[in-house]
Amino acid sequence: MFENIDLGAILEEKTRELVKGLLNFIEQLSSNLREARAENQRLRDEVNRLKGEQGKPDIKGNVEAEASKDHSSEKERKKPRKRQKKEKTVTIVIDRKEVVRVDQAILPADAIFKGYEENVVQDILLKTDNVCFLKEKYYSPSMGQTYLAELPSGYRGQFGPGIKALVLAFYHGGLMSEPKIIEFLENVGIQISKGTLSNLLVKGHEEFHAEKEAVYEAGLASSTYQHIDDTSTRVNGQNQSCHVVCNPFYTAYFTKPGKDRLSVLDVLRQGRKRVYLLNAEALAYLDGMPFSEATRCILEAWRSEMVMEEEVFLHELDRRIPILNKQHRSAVLSAAAIAAYHAECGVSIVQTLVCDDAPQFKWLTRWLALCWVHEGRHYKKLEPVVALHQTLLKDFLTRFWAYYDRLLEYRQRPTTVDAVRLDAEFDALFGTPSGYAELDKRMATTLAHKGSLLLVLKFPELPLHNNPAELGARGRVRKRDVSFGPRTEDGKQAWDTFMTLAATTKKLNVSFYEYVRDRILKKNSIPPLSELILNAASQLLPAQQTFSLACP
């Protein structure tokens, strides 16, 4: 019925606007109906659950039906690239060479030796290397003291560096569960208990924890921007949040009880003790809050350039404004904490966050770069039922991703002329009404985020999406699916530390297993990861400096 409607063919303007309004009304009714059906099903399931019955089974649809619900933009965003198969044998380390000889009995008398033909075969040896150390023991009667030889580095306890490194690599790098690691070791011939394995994974890793902190400090100093995201996690059965911060050189994990703005700020401040500063910047953040006139006068009178410790600030806040509600109190604490963060000296202050539009990421940094992929998902979630609106949405998405491609090209060769042109194209793309009300509403929201979406025009080194942080969060999700969650604070710290080190070594092209083994043996033949991060970042520094001079 609505498939062949052409609004352009309706000459009378009032009639055309009426038809347009009716079509949008149909879309609104269809959307309300979908929401009502989903809510009704949820309520039915809850009623059945309370009766002790089961709800509607979650039966997966066929491929076509599932594809229609897919909100991913990978198909539109990614462009096909010609792939060239790499020569694998170039990077293979040869451990030994063995000559394979031809049976002389089958050779004719006139056969002439023509050299060798190489055939590289990869293999691995899995066998025990159990050692019985005979430690020399001396006793000095004159000194009354016994002297006992020390074991080599890495051989403290009942298990050597090979097993210690392997279980850490399996658990954190390979995402294996503890029962499967025990099963593997038993098949090789190693006898180990569940408790001992848990201790190997969780306890006695102070040096690794220290290197993780150094990695994060170097990572914050290595780039003008940081990606950030979070995902839920469980600690001893309780809900917490895992915060992921990264850039091209590292990925760091931090598990915190909450995901509010102050928790995110604690992550960016590397866990330093909270401090507060109620200066002009902090009061500017609070301009949009619906405070009473009396509260605003108190805050203005309290304004100061003195940084306060948390206990002092909280005491002063309770004394001056004792009746603040929870939302207003949280806003004051956040504003003062962020102002104090921006005033800190001698530490890395993040200038730009690349993230989604979650409220906890706002105010924290000078610049906020929103993810274009997240923005595209909002349009993919629209489900028009009118054929005209389906066509309008499809055409818009084509233009959306074409504009995204032009931004990618601009990042490679930025010019002032192109920046001005792309700025105007943004206004035309998102500021021109389509007639499809839901699409126009979404475009208006995107237009309101123009400054954060087009920050790349000022800083071309900024990425256009937040995929690195999302991939980091996905790593924690997979780990959570396999091992559910740590049960102790030591376990939580171990998860954060080794997931950080595993992800960072991968970005630095360092074997995580070899890195762990190197540190356990105390060889330190692999340089500190923080040093590798800064060395990798220094190669991009000249280009960033040039751009900063061009765009102050």
Q: What is the pLDDT of residues 47-73, one digit of tens each?
A: 777 767 766 666 555 555 454 566 666
Least confident of 21-30, 212-221, 243-252, 469-478: 21-30
Q: Compute and round to an integer the Cα radius of gyration of the chain.
A: 31
pLDDT of 546 strictly over 60: no
- Residue 111's identity, in one-letter code, is A
State what percent of residues in the chain have pLDDT above 90. Answer: 74
Buried b (16+ CB within 10 A) or exposed e, 91-101: eeeeeeeeeee
**How many Å apart are CA 54 and CA 47, to the nearest integer?**
9
The pLDDT of residue 50? 77
Average pLDDT over residues 69-86: 64
pLDDT at 25 (0 to 100):
75
What is the Cα–Cα distance from 193 to 499, expressed in whole angstroms? 24
Pairs from 194-202 (Cβ < 8 Å, separation ≥ 24): 196/158, 196/159, 197/167, 200/159, 200/163, 200/164, 200/167, 200/168, 201/167, 201/168, 201/171, 201/491, 201/494, 202/486, 202/488, 202/490, 202/491, 202/494
Both structure tokens of 102: 């031809």
CB 2 within 8 A of CB 23: yes
Q: Which long-range contacts (CB under 8 A, 24 or more apart) does 32-39 make?
A: 34/383
* pLDDT per position as a tens digit, 5-46: 767 667 677 776 777 777 777 777 877 888 888 888 888 777
Residue of 466, 480, 468, 471 whose CA lies nearest to 241: 480
pLDDT digit string (tens) for 449-488?
999 999 999 999 999 999 999 999 999 999 999 998 999 9
Per-residue pLDDT tens over the stretch 274-301? 999 999 999 999 998 999 999 999 999 9
Does position 408 have pLDDT exceeding 60, yes or no? Answer: yes
pLDDT of residue 48: 77
Q: Give the residue among 70, 18, 169, 123 at the shortest CA–CA distance from 505.
A: 169
- Does 391 have pLDDT greater than 80? yes
What's residue 31's pLDDT?
Answer: 79
- Per-residue model confidence as pLDDT tens digits over 357-371: 999 999 999 999 999
Q: Return d(Cα 138, Cα 11) in angstroms, integer.
A: 108
For 135-185, the pLDDT digits (tens) are 999 999 999 999 999 999 889 889 999 999 999 999 999 999 999 999 999
Quick one: CA dihedral 392, 393, 399, 403, positive or negative?
Answer: positive
Predicted confidence at residue 72, as pLDDT, reads 64
Among the residue ranges 73-87, 256-270, 341-355, the one predicted with the least confidence is 73-87
Dig out the tokens for 484 from the structure. Answer: 């559910």
**What pLDDT is stored for residue 549 in this prediction?**
31
pLDDT for the residue numbered 552: 31
Q: Which residues contact residue 368 at a Cβ distance below 8 angstroms, ignoring those fewer than 6 apart?
A: 352, 353, 355, 361, 362, 452, 455
pLDDT exceeds 50 at position 245: yes
**Mean pLDDT score, 217-227:** 95
Report the pLDDT value the prediction gives residue 385, as an integer from 0 to 100: 83
Mean pLDDT of the chain: 89
Highest mean pLDDT, choosing among 187-191, 483-487, 526-530: 526-530
- CA 328 – CA 317 distance, rounded (Å): 12
